[in-house]
Chain A
Amino acid sequence: MTGSNSKAAAAILPEADPDPGLSLSPVPTFQVIYRQYFDFVWSSARHLGAARDAIDDVVQDVFVVIHSKVATLRCPEALRSWIYGIVRRTVSDYRRSSRTRDAAGARLGAEIKSTRPSQPSPLDVAERSAELDLLESVLAELDEPKREVFVMVEVLEMTVPEVVQSLEIPLNTAYSRLRMARQSFEEALARRQACDEENRRPCRT
């Protein structure tokens, strides 16, 4: 997308509205947002990498942020993009702090593992499926920018304009990433299927 087109697209993208007082629609109440976007927040957080044992904290933190900021939301039309942005930052912060905690507790963790081998909980086992394993392994072959757009559109069912708003990338870039991600996804899937059918060599990861 050219610079002029970026500006043109921004003209109707709610987040870029230069006058917050001119929004067409009222800002929904927190309660309405909670009802309507709970599932979305949960799924987004999980797909962004929030672990099962962290999901409660992440989802809570997301809604606390929404609660504190919803009154300042300039463009209700971009609500889902706005929420996704909050989920994205929250998961990122959580993962960063988890790594810090992990590093600090590495010695203790090693001691625990040495005496009590970690096993997946029944919930973890129930959550997993061969299909999910395959999906994740295929997605792992995509580079991060493409994978994120793919998950946003295909799994979370966001529209491409919402992706543009959330990631602050040009519309054409979003479409380009999506197109390439789909292609890479299908190619990776085909490789794995061929590999499974041959059953001769380990599949590339």
Chain B
Amino acid sequence: MSNLSPRGSDLVRAGQRAFQATDAGRARLTSALRARLGDAALPPDMGSVASTAAAGKAIWPLISAVAVGVVILGGALFVALRPGTGVDNPQKTRVEAVAATTPVPVAAPSAGQPASPATTAPAADPPALPATSVNRPQDRLAAEVAILSRATRDLRAGRPAEALKSLDEYRRKFPKGLLSEEHRAARAQALCALGRFDEANAKLAELAPRSPLAVQAKQFCDAKLVAR
């Protein structure tokens, strides 16, 4: 709701409140769905589904009990999943704000951020764009996608160190990128794959708590923790 006036934001919040699920509705539907899908789908001991945030609080500590050290991650996730933390909105706001305005020139490398050399893109990558051309929004997006695609492929191929180099490159070139959320999720997973869980926790905490990216990144990291 970043770009709306205070009055507009108030109205949007009214819309959110008006159409929230009710506790009675949750209980009613959980029971009805259990009858349709069976206990295996929705075990009776899970009770009525609580609100999303409450469910997150219940799930992640449970996962954290699986392996040593996971408590650290669970704590970060617990904080990230609390309602009203406002973690997601600033991120969304930032990403949208970039696209909603004029093209953003490529920023110079930040002094505080590591500047790693870019890895060689596989042949399937979109061609690297010259720095001057990324002033156009569509070229900028393509450049962002190219780097993140390379990082994703490295992650899937079990090369997290290489993925991290690409992600460093992304952060250096696009500190306010349109795909910053995807960048953060991929970075968290690369760090987990490298066993750098403390750093991964910090990245996970930056993700919008209920986004699919955050959920999946957490699951990826939990799997890595369990496999340690």
List residues of A whose CB falls within 8 A of some B CB. Answer: 1-2, 4-5, 7-9, 11-12, 22, 24-26, 28, 30-32, 34-40, 42-43, 46-47, 55-56, 59-60, 63-64, 67, 76-81, 127-129, 131-132, 134-136, 138, 151, 153-155, 157, 159-162, 171-172, 175, 178-179, 182, 185-186, 189, 193
The docked-state distance in angstroms from the alpha carbon of A171 to that of B178 is: 10
16 contacts between A and B (CB under 8 A): A24-B189, A40-B210, A42-B21, A43-B21, A46-B19, A60-B36, A80-B212, A129-B18, A157-B88, A159-B95, A161-B179, A162-B212, A172-B137, A185-B8, A186-B4, A189-B11
The docked-state distance in angstroms from the alpha carbon of A171 to that of B179 is: 11
The docked-state distance in angstroms from the alpha carbon of A111 to that of B88 is: 51
On whether the beta carbons of B141 and A47 are closer than 8 Å, the reply is: no
Q: Residue A8 contacts which of B1, B58, B92, B126 (CB distance < 8 angstroms)? A: B126
Q: Does B25 contact A (CB under 8 A)?
A: yes
On whether the beta carbons of B41 and A67 are closer than 8 Å, the reply is: yes
Given known contacts A36-B56, A47-B15, A154-B4, A25 and B95 CB-to-CB distance under 8 angstroms: no
The docked-state distance in angstroms from the alpha carbon of A80 to that of B99 is: 22
The docked-state distance in angstroms from the alpha carbon of A6 to that of B170 is: 19
Stretch from B108-116, B144-152, B197-205 contacting the other chain? B144-152
On whether the beta carbons of A12 and B52 are closer than 8 Å, the reply is: no
On whether the beta carbons of A1 and B10 are closer than 8 Å, the reply is: no
On whether the beta carbons of B52 and A132 are closer than 8 Å, the reply is: no
On whether the beta carbons of A38 and B52 are closer than 8 Å, the reply is: yes
Q: What's the dominant secondary structure at chain A's contact region? A: helix
The docked-state distance in angstroms from the alpha carbon of A8 to that of B129 is: 12
On whether the beta carbons of A159 and B126 are closer than 8 Å, the reply is: no
The docked-state distance in angstroms from the alpha carbon of A128 to that of B179 is: 38
The docked-state distance in angstroms from the alpha carbon of A7 to that of B43 is: 42
The docked-state distance in angstroms from the alpha carbon of A1 to that of B144 is: 14
On whether the beta carbons of B36 and A132 are closer than 8 Å, the reply is: no
On whether the beta carbons of B96 and A186 are closer than 8 Å, the reply is: no
Q: How far apart are A24's CB and chain B's nearest CB, in angstroms?
A: 6
Q: Residue A78 contacts which of B145, B146, B212 (CB distance < 8 angstroms)? A: B212
